Chain A
Amino acid sequence: MSEIEFEIDGKLVTANQGDSIISIADREGIDVPRFCYHKKLSVAANCRMCLVDVEGVPKAQPACSTPVASGMKIHTRNDKAKSAQKAVMEFLLINHPLDCPICDQGGECELQDVAMEYGTDVSKFNLGKRIVADKGIGALIQTDMTRCIHCTRCVRFGAEVAGIVEMGGTGRGEGVKIEPFLTEGIQSELSGNMIDVCPVGALTSKPFRYEARTWQMNAVETIARHDLVGSNIYTQTYRGRVKRVVARDNELVNETWISDRDRFSYEGLNHESRALHPKIKKNNKWQETSWEVALDFAISGLKKNTQNADQLGVLASKNSTLEEYYLMQKLARGFGSDNIDYRLDKADLSIGNTMLSNITLAEMESTDHALIVNSYLRLEQPMINHRIRKATLNGASVNTINNKKFDFNYQTDLEILSSPQKTLLMLQSILKSLHERTKTTVPKYLSKLTVDDSQNKIADDLIAAERPVIILGEHVNSNISSSDIASIISEIAALANAKIANLSLNGNSLSAEKVGFKPSNNGKNAISMFTENTKAFLLMDVDFNYDFIDSKLAADTFNNDDVFVISLNSFEDEITLMNSDVILPLAGFYESSGTHINFDGVAQSFSASVKGPGDSKPGWKIIKVLADILELNGFEYTDSTQVADDALSMSSANNNDLVENNIKETDDSKVAVHWQYSPYAIDGITRKAKALQETPIGKMNDAFISLATAKELKLSEGDLYHGVPVSINETVAEGCVFVHTYQSRKG
């Protein structure tokens, strides 16, 4: 693009042909007032606030929709520009209620700020103002549409970013209203961003309503660690509590957006079941106690129950911090046990699927073809899905291989249904097709496989693409062949010259992998610990109901009287009390400093936003003290950053052995079950975030079965399948029950 030269407020600047005046003004630090313009959205030019004077043009021009031209002389604050801006401001305020004192947006309101500078103190308008009745749009967003100035940022956000057109401008003229068609709740998983883009108080955070004024709060830069992205956020705190979470710009990670999960999960921190004080169980009775007593009780119980060190099992959820993983494995290994694991929800732990991703988040959006395997990407990794959506807007195609058809917010090309037990075979057929197409030798074990048209198309699309990516999602975790699937995908990627995005390592799994938080030699893994004589457990942030792939097996072990369980947990619900012998209250998300390693392999550290409630302590401190009492060496830390330094300097112990490939006989006659949590039930804190649970996504509760499979299982529509209502549906693969629910895994 050619560079052009022009003048803005007397300053000679250069820009590319086609740049808008406002983008250059922003670059040059010149403040042009605006409401409808947003750097990430299309230009609407309907608020008219950004009018500026362009020499030679009789009327003031909107800076957002006027492209710069060579030799242009622009004035953003001469009399003509100022009077145009003031006139627009007066119009915008005609119907605005000016209820700033009771408005949550007050203090951070673009309208308020601009009105301070461009508004007059007395309005000439003395007629009645219009009032818009609120319909309500769900549990997350509070609407006060009388305050709306019809900038349509939320409408454009829905159409352009969220990919679900939900808000719209109905009516005409003075009767225009911004509203959704349905009132039962906004469906998008990114809906909270509408709050951020709204320049006035029309859309505000519902859980935050009337909680605090913005100027009373402290903003702390931190990281959301529910998913692989590690979105950059601010927690806004007031009197030691997190009151709100808002997005923080980071072009490489989350751009300007965050998912609703990251935005509203903080509510879980204030749940009534928070563990506030150390507790010990003596003679089957719980008693609150001091940290000293609880720690001594924990260590003596641990020592008493483990004749040899090998009888200790150490488990953590996939959302712990790098520091916690590091210290816990150090404690376990110092104690003499290699029974360490975080892969609680994986069915195949043989070597584990640790296939590494070799594409970055930013590169995702320039891909031209994506093959999505085993993922409902939109709900599981909203920000990664957003990158893929951007790629599709630039012409990328998407194929999927899933247990069920899902509702993506972009066009998918070919959607192949494949039950879990047939997925490996499906991928092997695709591999064979690729071998045939690239004229490479078909390995012997594939020779007998047949390849059908759709598999050929998948192979063709991968070969035809210049920058393809294969995405492996978290549904693979419940597959007993997940290591094999990962290794076949590696081979497919190598042949098709495709990048790999392994999203089955969710949460902060990459931190766990980094410090080797899994058995390295002959240690027991998250399944064999329950079958092979483990007498004491040290658990970090583990939810007994939800986290284990086989909760019954786990419960049987934990409930056993001669098994001693130390729970470091933020919550003490019934099941935790039943299964534990000591509860050490754990500071939760945003209450502890730590590090998250994201999809790009970037370690993002954060400090604590608030102190944990009651006596709760950060996990790394608790483990350090436990190690001190055990008199282990190497725990002389005074700060979590020292722990992070040590953890990050570990050489990555990634034993990425390829599995020997062969055709496995899978038992097709059995019906496979995939139990997928709703995105708002994936970890302890989201499950306890009330507003999220009240959204359409949070209320997901269906066991999808095809008619044939339902007949086989003797189920009909509306029956309960392990507590989840059956929905007979032909969008799910034969021989598979796809349970999508907020309820805990049963059976």
Chain B
Amino acid sequence: MISDQAKKEIDFWVTKYPEGRQSSAVMQALTIVQNENGGSLTGELIQEVADHLQMPTISVQEVATFYENYNHKPVGKHIIRFCHNISCMLNGSDELISYLEEKLEVKTGEVSKDGLVSVKKVECLGACVGGPMCQIGDQYHEHLTPSKLDNILDNLK
């Protein structure tokens, strides 16, 4: 269920677009709903967003599955979004991702046992100059090495 508070927030975004174009707010709506639901979306929530924005449900589903920033399975408290595109890959992102997977005992796309961290491979985040890199919350972490990663993980609570 989408809370009234979230609906209010969605309606705020709807006002930014011309009347009758409420569907333009679908990405913000999905983000708001996802945040409220602990970081992931469900079929029911997508249905509710569609109803609220008077859109065909499949059109919302199209948006929600197109963008990497929407999750369709439960996620950890922190999501490590690891870039695996060309610059990061050339600088060893694959090895770092394997390192993370081993250390946290998770596979990409899964949540660690304690529910704290999940790892996700994402496309270029526009920080090629600092590759290999990842994003945790709103923070970019660049020029990563295994020890830097250890340090970052130790600070996640």
Contact = CB atoms under 8 A, between A and B. Distances in A.
B66 A172 contact: yes
B153 interface: no
B58 A166 contact: yes
A617 B6 CA distance: 67
B78 to A, nearest CB: 24
Interface string A159-195: 1000011111111100000001110000000000000
B62 A169 contact: yes
A170 B63 CA distance: 8
Contacts of B65: 170-172
Nearest to B55: A165
B66 A182 contact: no
Interface in B46-60: 46-47, 56-59
Contacts of A159: 56
B61 A168 contact: yes
B66 A180 contact: no
A64 B98 CA distance: 46
A181 B57 contact: yes
Contacts, number: 32
B54 to A, nearest CB: 11
Nearest to B60: A181
A168 B62 CA distance: 7
B58 A181 contact: yes
* Chain A interface category by residue count: 10 to 19
Interface in B21-65: 43, 46-47, 56-59, 61-62, 65
Most buried by A among B43, B46, B57: B57
Contacts of A181: 43, 46-47, 56-58, 61
Most buried by A among B46, B57, B65: B65
Contacts of A165: 56, 58-59
Contacts of A170: 58, 61-62, 65-66
B57 A182 contact: yes
Contacts of B47: 181
Contacts of A180: 58
Contacts of B58: 165-168, 170, 180-181
Contacts of A169: 62
A692 to B, nearest CB: 24
A104 to B, nearest CB: 25
A181 B46 CA distance: 10
A164 B57 CA distance: 11
A168 B57 CA distance: 9
A273 to B, nearest CB: 39
B51 to A, nearest CB: 12
Nearest to B56: A165
A168 B66 CA distance: 12
A616 B97 CA distance: 73
A171 B66 contact: yes
A181 B65 CA distance: 12
Nearest to B58: A168
Contacts of B56: 159, 164-166, 168, 181
A496 to B, nearest CB: 29
A214 to B, nearest CB: 31
Most buried by A among B57, B58, B61, B66: B58
Contacts of A182: 57
Nearest to A166: B58
A174 to B, nearest CB: 13
Contacts of A164: 56
Contacts of B66: 170-172
Nearest to A168: B58
Nearest to B67: A172
A62 to B, nearest CB: 23
Interface of B: 43, 46-47, 56-59, 61-62, 65-66
13 contacts: A159-B56, A164-B56, A165-B58, A166-B56, A168-B56, A168-B58, A168-B62, A170-B61, A170-B66, A171-B66, A181-B43, A181-B47, A181-B56
Given A167-B58, A170-B58, A181-B56, 13 more contacts: A165-B59, A166-B56, A168-B56, A168-B59, A168-B62, A169-B62, A170-B62, A170-B65, A170-B66, A172-B65, A181-B47, A181-B57, A181-B58
